[in-house]
Amino acid sequence: MRELVPYRLDVNGHDALAAAGTFADRKVELLNGLLVMTTTGPGPGHDHAVTALGELLRERVSRDAWTVREEKPLALSRHWEPVPDVVVARGPRSRYARRTPGRRDALPPRLDDIDFAAMPAAELFP
């Protein structure tokens, strides 16, 4: 009998699919090699909190030393490119004109209680 093996996508494959318009207006994140479609958002309260935190952080960090990014990708590894609510990344905004901030660039606070390890999909690629 033939064994079915899931295909583990990497960041380059994910980015190529996104550039081709595969996801249209859907919010899709790459989590441990899996394409995970996220909801459009928990609602106005969450949206308000993300905006408020972004504004608060921008007021308190040096624009030359840090960039505050809201709901933008963060390249953590070859198979992980989540889209955190807010990320504080090292350096000015122009530093990320041609690349996505990575693990060593950023401090990503999350404004939800998602436990990715508890997601059934996470069991596919331990």
Q: What is the mean pLDDT of residues 25-53?
A: 85
In a domain, 1, yes or no: no
Whole-number pLDDT of residue 108: 59
Nearest 10 degrees: Cα torsion 111, 42, 114, 53: -10
For residue 34, the tally of other CB atoms under 10 A from its CB is 19
Residue-number span of the structural domain to which 56 is assigned: 11-124
Residue 70 lies in a domain: yes
What is this structure's pTM?
Answer: 0.76
Number of domains within the chain: 1
- The confidence band for 122, taking pLDDT boundaries of 50, 70 and 90, is very low
Residue 109's pLDDT band (cuts 50, 70, 90): low
Q: Which amino acid belongs to residue 12?
A: N
Q: Which of 54, 81, 77, 75 is nearest to 66 (CA)?
A: 54
Residue 115 predicted with pLDDT over 60: no
What DSSP state is assigned to residue 64?
Answer: T
Structure-token pair, residue 12: 């380059």
Pairing of strands 66-70, 86-90: antiparallel
Task: Give the whole-number percent of the chain exceeding pLDDT 70.
Answer: 83
